Structure 1
Amino acid sequence: MGIDRHFTDAELQATRQYQQNVAEIRKEIAAVSEELDRRSGAGSRGLIYIV
């Protein structure tokens, strides 16, 4: 475990939970950012259909 050896099991569990929450929040922020880009017309890289 390296430098984390001084942490208790509960502290390590809390750290892991925190890291999972951060990753989930980053995904949600990215999704919101993509939706805002889509609504503003920026970043729309979808297919172009010629009729």
Structure 2
Amino acid sequence: MDSRAQTSTEYLLILALSLVVLVIVLALAMSTRDLSEVLANRAAIERNETLQMLLD
């Protein structure tokens, strides 16, 4: 392989690796967002239960 073909191949591999990393980061962001929603809902439920106990 000549130098130009090798350079092109390296750039394509770097681009492919970048896309894989981007997909992984997006997947982690989505799972973190889902977890934060679950925790926020749980905190809201406990807050409502506590307020209900105080009002009863």
Q: Which has the higher helix share?
A: 2
* TM-score with structure 1 setting the length: 0.66
* Displacement after TM superposition at 1:17 (Å): 0.3
Moved over 4 A (4+): none
Please say which structure displays the higher CA radius of gyration.
2
RMSD: 1.7
* Higher RCO (CA 8 Å, separation ≥ 6 residues): 1
How many residue pairs get matched?
Answer: 36
User: C-alpha deviations, 1:4-48, integer Å up to 9, x for none?
Assistant: xxx700000000000000000000000000000000008xxxxxx
Gaps of 5+ in 1: 1-6, 43-51
* TM-score with structure 2 setting the length: 0.60
Question: Mapping of 1:28-47 within 5 angstroms?
Answer: 28-41=39-52
Distance (whole Å) between structure 2 residues aligned to residue 38 and residue 23 of structure 1: 23
Distance (whole Å) between structure 2 residues aligned to residue 17 and residue 32 of structure 1: 22
Gaps of 5+ in 2: 1-17
- Give the fraction of aligned pairs with identical amino acids, expressed as a percent: 3
